[in-house]
Amino acid sequence: MAPIFGVPLWLQGNFRGNLFWAYNRQHLHAIKEYVGAKLRERQTTTHTTMVEKLPQFIKEAKNRETILKLIEKLERKQSTTKF
């Protein structure tokens, strides 16, 4: 698990033995936008972006459909849970 302040993250799931996680709704949405994009252009060569830090299994085109399904599952989980 990827803990924050010593507490496990709520938005996480297993993807073929890899831990997929997001800090919050905005982070999950940004990952979803990236994974679902038809064209992935490099934004900058001088700064490290969140996308560059994503694990390789998230960036691989062959995993696109399954990752998007996992993200949708996490979105449903979040929308039905009240904190």
For 37-68, the pLDDT digits (tens) are 987 666 666 666 788 889 999 999 999 999 99
| Count of CA atoms in the C-beta half-sphere (13 A) of 78 | 20
pLDDT tens-place string over residues 19-29? 999 988 999 99
Q: Whose CA is closest to 71, among 35, 34, 33, 32? A: 32
pTM: 0.79
Which pair of structure tokens corresponds to residue 2?
């990827």
CA distance to 2, 17, 30, 59, per residue, from 22 (Å): 9, 16, 10, 15
Nearest-Å Rg of the Cα atoms of the chain is 13
* Distance (Å, whole) CA 6 – CA 26: 21
